[in-house]
Structure 1
Amino acid sequence: MKFTETKLKGCFILEPKIIGDERGSFMESFNEKIFAEGVGQQVHFVQDNQSFSTKGVLRGLHYQTGAHAQAKLVRVLNGEVLDVAVDLRPNSPTYGQHETALLTGDNQIQFYIPRGFAHGFLVLSETATFFYKCDNFYNAASEGGVLFNDPTLTIDWKFPIEDMIISEKDQQLPTLENAKKVW
């Protein structure tokens, strides 16, 4: 597994070693020891989540606050998504900046997003199955979010906004300036 830290300190792109032959392929998707060495810290994942979505579905930008903040290790099992992390750590030199990663069932790239970040993704293929690990349990009272098209974020979703399928809840999220603080 190759770990590459992004411009947002603590966010990593993980590229697996995929072994293929005439039968198909094999890869190790997670190894706690290798993961801790790669990101430079011990992370204990406690919950796995999976979603299925169609082309144009945008989910996000979501996060959990305070004691319920979550780190995530995300990947796509099949299909293709544009994955986005936004730094919400108040004292970070990259506060308000974002990183994107193209995650596909073919490339099997994973994206590690530490606590203190908003996260979202947009489905670019006809369908996609999205899978992620969390290091903390979901808590409804600690939910936070940032509007996906907040002009201060300048996220290029690489998809026409008029063709996006966005929940009513996500359309009503506040801008970064008005969002809940992560801690």
Structure 2
Amino acid sequence: MKGKIVIPIVVGAIIVMIGIIAITNQESNQMEVEDILDRELMPEEDTSPEVQKKLDEIERINLENEYSPKEREWITSGPFQIDRSEYVLGEKIFLVIGGLQQYEKGQVAFLRPLNDTHYKVYQTIPFDGSKKNVFNYYIQPQISKENGICSIDDLVGDWTVVFRGTNYENLKFRITDKILPGDEDSYEPVC
């Protein structure tokens, strides 16, 4: 009877020992993999002149392409405001309308330049002070084959914002030929 009890105890002990050995080996393999990964990710101290030249060139290009938006200026005409006098392609033009009178009703028209003396309506935004006297809106001028805006040349220049149905002065802003980093593909010619 003693032999029947001893066999399961010995088998159990062997299984526990095999389990401990397997866990120990697994942990040690994980450590080796992590050490190898860390070594691969750490750059070597001595960089070859070719690699350093390429790194310097990449850093120079990044500095040239660094974008920082102009400060907001809030150009105002009555209850209408736009946030800047100059934008790069890809930036949103924010229009803030605050404090419309009950009787003020009309349209805000964004006019893009066709040449030095003529403009074309890019977008209109209706307003009615009896329904809503305060709201915000933004536009982002884009190339559009359907609207006949074929290239950045059709967007660049001095724009005018007209407040139809009011006597408020027009607002002016400029869109430059610079493109917001990351938006370059949006301004490929389409016509």
**TM-score, normalising length: structure 2:** 0.26
Higher relative contact order (CA 8 A, sep 6+): 1
Instruction: Name the structure with the higher helix share.
Output: 2
Query: Which structure has the larger Rg over C-alpha atoms?
Result: 2
Instruction: Name the structure with the higher strand share.
Output: 1
**TM-score, normalising length: structure 1:** 0.27
